[in-house]
Amino acid sequence: MTLSFVTRAMVLTAVTVAGWLYIAEHAGTWGEGEVMEGCEVAEVIDTRTVRLMCGEADRLVRLEGLGVPDVGEPGCDAELAHGALGRDRLRVLLEDGPLEWRRTGEPMEGVPGTPVPVRVTVGDENLADRLVREGLAVEAGGEGAKVNWCDRLGAPVEVEKD
């Protein structure tokens, strides 16, 4: 056996192993516009953010095009209550039938843990549109994520006292 043969065999083996590792690492990822199959709801975090289990992979997704009340750092009790109502309503809607999760874009680059934007439908109904119709979210783009939910809900902003 020559050194050249051994070198080529080692390179071929390394390339093959690297290829299999790449395939294994990227299994269960979807490109923009593709249906995300094999995913189940693991947790509903707020009115637009959901944690999915796709096989063994944990995926954080966010319904595209929505501005929702902040349940993490609400400006008033009304915002917290409205956000909890929206989160609970989304849980119910996600139980209504077969879901189709379609990736609509890329997560924010350079920010680990940023949710993947998705469009989720039950039958032919876009759940983001349903949440807007029911008053639990607003369309992003106009006032979107910048909406002051305390003002919108007619609630006074509570100021912390020293």
Q: With contact defined as beta carbons under 8 Å apart, do 103 and 33 qualify?
A: yes
- CA atoms of 133 and 15, how far apart (whole Å): 53
What is the length of the chain?
A: 162
Question: Taking the chain (162 residues) in consecutive chunks of 10 residues, what is each chunk's mean pLDDT?
Answer: 69 59 45 75 93 89 91 91 95 90 84 88 91 92 68 73 47
Is CATH 3.30.230.10 the classification given to domain 31-152?
no
Question: Could you state, in order of their start, the residue ranges of all structural domains in the chain?
Answer: 31-152
Residue given tokens 């390179």 in the structure block:
11
Q: What is the pLDDT of residue 33?
A: 64
Q: What is the pLDDT of residue 60?
A: 93
- CA atoms of 27 and 20, how far apart (whole Å): 10
- CA atoms of 23 and 162, how far apart (whole Å): 56
- Burial class of residue 103, CB neighbours in 10 A (0-12, 13-18, 19+): buried
Listed in sequence order, the residues at least 6 apart from 139 whose beta carbon sits closer than 8 Å to its beta carbon are 65, 66, 67, 132
Q: With contact defined as beta carbons under 8 Å apart, do 105 and 121 qualify?
A: no
Q: What is the pLDDT of residue 130?
A: 94
